Structure formats: structure tokens, C-alpha cells
Amino acid sequence: MGTEEKLNTLAEFVIKGRHIDAKKTAQELLDENVTPQVILDEALMKGMAVVGEKFRNNEMFVPQVLVSARAMKLVMTILEPYFTASSISKKGKIIIGTVKGDIHDIGKNLVSIMLQGAGYDVVDLGTGCTAEKFYDEYEKNEANVVGMSALLTTTMVYMKTVIDYFKDKKAEVPLIIGGAPINQKYADEIGADGYAKNAYDAVILVDKILEKL
Ligand code: B1M
């Protein structure tokens, strides 16, 4: 099987939630010197995009989406070392979490992995994070940037609650946001210090913000 065909097969395994086959195929691709970036972009992200489309059209339901997510996460465990191995000295500390009411964590995990790979210390708070949690962890860790992720239109509004909470506390740390329903306009509206469309842009954004400080 050629590389392109194998990448398509991997995307299919993610869509079907065949996690063991997905892991095996990803390992084969790595052994054939296909880069982790290509595997991520050309198979995993493509597969999850199809899952999202099918979910929206009621062709897939929560239990099936969960097994797709499990397959994506399992493959990420073998890709992660490639993304995080490069850093020598730490460039700064980032707090990251998915906001209250939201359990989506695949994108947030990817952002976390890419930031670690770019040389940042990342404290990942997981999902369902309240404003208090973000603030307490920021203080405890003396973080340089706080990042929030949200995947639902019903939870993205909570990002403003967090930003207002930090303002009330007069905390001067940059707050950045991301997630499928977020855009620059929304970030500006709620007073976020930055927005990134994907995990790659999140690294560029954090680099830029910390350069200015
Ligand atoms: Co959910 N879900 N889901 N889901 N789910 C969406 C988000 C949805 C768009 C699907 C759809 O209708 N097409 C829809 C939201 C609709 C809306 O609000 N407008 C939806 C819904 C409705 C729901 C439930 C309400 C369904 C239900 O129960 N009836 C429920 C909500 C539960 C809750 O959170 N309270 C639910 C549940 C789930 C599962 C548990 C089954 C599962 C999550 C598993 C998990 O994460 N552990 C799931 C999944 C997998 C999805 C889709 C299919 C895929 C999300 C994903 O992982 N994408 C999603 C459809 C979609 O987004 N197209 C959908 C891959 C990931 C790499 O991309 O997360 O966008 P993404 O992250 C990107 C960027 O956004 C960005 O970088 C990442 C990497 O490039 N980014 C940041 C993310 N965070 C960032 C932070 C940054 C910067 C960039 O700075 C800090």
C-alpha cells in the first residue's frame, strides 16, 4: 500500500473508531519515515473533520464519535514524543484548559503538545475549568500565558466570565482563546489578548505575545 493510501486508511480507522488498527497503521507510517505532522494533518485531522460532518448530519451519534475520539487519542500517544522531544530550555509557562461545561479535549491536548514541542512548560488543567480554577493555577504556577479552549457555542460564552474574573483580580497575564466556534471577532469582543485557529498558530501566537512582554 502506498503512503497516500495508508494515510486514507488511517483516516478511515479514525472515523470507524478502530483504535488498534489506527495505532498499528500510524506506527507503520512512522516506520516508513512519514512525518508526524503529515500523519496528524493528512489522516487524523481529516478523519475527525469527517466525523464532525457526519455528527452534524445525524449520520453518526455520540457513542460512535466517542470511539473515533478514542482512536485519535491513542494515535496521538505515539505521535506525542515526536512533537515534544525538541525543547532544551523552557521559554515560559502556559496554563491551558477547556472551559466549564465543556468536555471536548482533543484540540486542547494538541495545542498543549505543540506548545511543549516549541519549548514551553505547559500546565494542562483538563476540561470543565472554572474561572477560579484558571486563576488559582495561574497564581500558583506564575504562568506567563493562560489559554482557554471551547468547542460549544453554549460554553464559549464562559470565556468572557474567565476574562472578567482575571480583570477583577487585576491580573495582567495575557489570556488567549481557541476552539472550533471561536474567531478573532469574538476574541476582540470579549477582550481576549489573542486567538489562534489551530495548534500551529497557537505556538506562533504565544511566541509573539511573549516577545512583546
Ligand atoms: Co462534540 N460537538 N458534543 N463531542 N464534537 C462538536 C463540537 C459539534 C460541532 C458537532 C457537530 O454538531 N457537528 C457540536 C457543537 C455544536 C455547537 O455548539 N455549535 C457538538 C455537540 C453538540 C456535542 C454534544 C452537546 C452532543 C450531545 O451530547 N448531544 C456533547 C457536549 C458535551 C459537553 O462538552 N458538555 C458533545 C460530546 C462530544 C464527545 C464526547 C462525543 C466527543 C468529545 C471527545 C473528547 O474531546 N474527548 C465530541 C467530538 C469528538 C466532537 C467533534 C466531532 C470533533 C471535535 C474534535 O476533537 N476535533 C466536533 C465537531 C467538529 O469540531 N467539527 C464536535 C478535532 C480537534 C483537533 O479540533 O477541537 O477544533 P478542535 O481543535 C483545534 C482548533 O479548534 C484549535 O486547535 C485545535 C487543533 O488544531 N484549538 C485551539 C482548540 N482549542 C484551542 C485553544 C487555543 C488555540 C487553539 O488557545 C488556548
CA 184 / ligand 1 centre spacing (Å): 18
Spacing, Cα 2 to ligand 1 middle (Å): 31
pTM, to two decimals: 0.92
Span 115-136, pLDDT tens digits: 987 889 999 999 999 999 999 9
Q: Are strands 121-124 and 93-98 parallel, antiparallel or unpaired?
A: parallel
CB neighbour burial string for 176-205, b if at least 16 within 10 angstroms, e if fewer: bbbbeebeeebbeebebebbbeebbebbeb
d(CA 58, CA 50): 12
Above pLDDT 90, what percent of the chain? 85
Q: Strand pairing of 93-98 and 145-149? A: parallel
Q: Does domain 93-212 have CATH number 3.40.50.280?
A: yes
* Cα distance between residue 169 and residue 9, in whole Å: 50
What pLDDT, in 10s, does the model give residues 27-59? Answer: 999 999 999 999 999 999 999 999 989 998 999
Which of 3.30.300.30, 1.10.1240.10, 1.20.1560.10, 1.10.238.10 is the CATH number of 3-84?
Answer: 1.10.1240.10
Torsion of CA 24, 26, 31, 37, to 10 degrees: -170
Give the Å distance between the CA of 152 and the centre of ligand 1. 7
pLDDT for position 207:
94
C-alpha of residue 139 to centroid of ligand 1, in Å: 28
Domain-wise residue ranges, the chain:
3-84, 93-212
Among 77, 114, 151, which residue has the most ligand 1 atoms within 8 Å of its CB, making it the best to mutate? Answer: 151
**For ligand 1, what atom is nearest to the CA of residue 68?**
50
What SS3 class is residue 129?
strand
